[in-house]
């Protein structure tokens, strides 16, 4: 082959010199790499993925069951936690089995075009729904702490239900353009699931801005305002409690302040975690959610 042609030109672009009548077959391993890594790498990762899958599945299913069966837990906060559990289950069921399979067989893709599209759609929808849920949850906390009277007027379960349904509809609508860009392609006899077309230019940059930069700025600002309000309230209560001798009220306020601080750390940590690339997210997503959901429900 002449020096001015590359193997990529021949395989993917159809350029290069005219092929002979019976070209010699190309070994896919030379193009795509080994089909499987060393067992020293594959086995530990498989065990870790299996543990994450089981823990995430059980933890999120139990979370949903507990919220559904206990009417006392039918609150706006727990509705948002229920939404997070559902998004986590969607990501686990649609992504983890294929991810475990791909550890052992990197190529060819064995799940067909329908699953290739649905898997991308489920992953995008789940991530979008999780981030929007956390953002709405933060807004609810902000209203409850900084504007309690307004929050009381708006704290209806029907309102929380509408918000959850709406955020899932928006998540699905915004995930469709991303997912529809994926499909099945065959290169030198190897079937692969990858991006086959471009529906929206710079879709990745747009998604990053909409589902990472904007929400994290909103969440950070709101929790900063919450912290200022809690600090201001705490100092005001100190003087009042010393004057009236209401020590119990001070203890309750300190407890609430500590819980709110922990919630800030958990929510910001969860959001940053959700915005990592999918292959990293799928390995830790469920464990983080399980701890997050358990802490808030208890």
Residues 106-139: pLDDT tens digits? 888 888 899 999 999 999 999 999 999 999 989 8
Q: Rounded distance, CA 261 to CA 266, Å?
A: 9
Q: At what angle do helices 278-297 and 112-146 cross, to 10 degrees?
A: 40
- The DSSP call for residue 9 is I
Residue 285 banded pLDDT, cuts 50, 70, 90:
very low
Q: Give the residue carrying structure tokens 């991006």.
A: 195
Q: Which domains does the chain have, with CATH numbers?
A: 35-203+277-297 (1.20.1070.10)
Q: Rounded distance, CA 59 to CA 56, Å?
A: 5
Region 68-79: mean pLDDT is 89
pTM recorded for the entire structure = 0.69
Q: Rounded distance, CA 185 to CA 116, Å?
A: 11
Q: At what angle do helices 76-104 and 39-69 cross, to 10 degrees?
A: 160
Q: State residue 288's pLDDT score.
A: 40
**Integer CA distances (angstroms), 16 to 7, 25, 89, 274, in order:** 9, 16, 47, 43
Question: pLDDT over 90 for what percent of the chain?
Answer: 32
Is residue 247's pLDDT more than 60? no
161 vs 298: which has the higher pLDDT: 161
């Amino acid at each position: 082959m002449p020096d001015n042609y590359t193997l990529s030109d021949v395989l993917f672009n159809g350029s290069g010199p005219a092929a002979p009548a019976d070209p010699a077959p190309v070994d896919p391993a030379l193009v795509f790499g080994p089909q499987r890594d060393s067992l020293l790498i594959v086995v530990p990762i498989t065990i870790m993925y299996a543990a994450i899958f089981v823990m995430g599945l059980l933890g999120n299913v139990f979370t949903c069951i507990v919220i559904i069966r206990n009417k006392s837990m039918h609150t706006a906060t727990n509705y948002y936690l229920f939404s997070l559990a559902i998004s986590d289950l969607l990501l686990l069921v649609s992504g983890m089995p294929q991810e475990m399979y791909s550890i052992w067989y990197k190529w060819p893709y064995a799940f067909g075009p329908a699953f290739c599209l649905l898997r991308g759609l489920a992953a995008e929808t789940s991530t979008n729904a999780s981030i929007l849920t956390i953002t709405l949850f933060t807004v609810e906390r902000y209203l409850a702490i900084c504007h309690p009277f307004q929050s009381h007027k708006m704290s209806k379960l029907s309102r929380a239900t509408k918000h959850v349904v709406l955020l899932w509809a928006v998540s699905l609508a915004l995930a469709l353009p991303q997912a529809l860009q994926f499909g099945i392609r065959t290169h030198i006899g190897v079937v692969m699931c990858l991006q086959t077309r471009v529906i929206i230019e710079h879709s990745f940059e747009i998604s990053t801005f909409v589902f990472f930069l904007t929400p994290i700025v909103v969440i950070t600002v709101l929790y900063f305002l919450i912290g200022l309000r809690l600090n201001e309230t705490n100092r005001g209560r100190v003087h009042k409690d010393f004057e009236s001798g209401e020590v119990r009220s001070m203890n309750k306020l300190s407890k609430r302040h500590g819980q709110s601080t922990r919630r800030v750390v958990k929510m910001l940590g969860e959001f940053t975690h959700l915005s990592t690339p999918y292959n990293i997210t799928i390995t830790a997503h469920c464990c983080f959610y399980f701890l997050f959901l358990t802490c808030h429900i208890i």
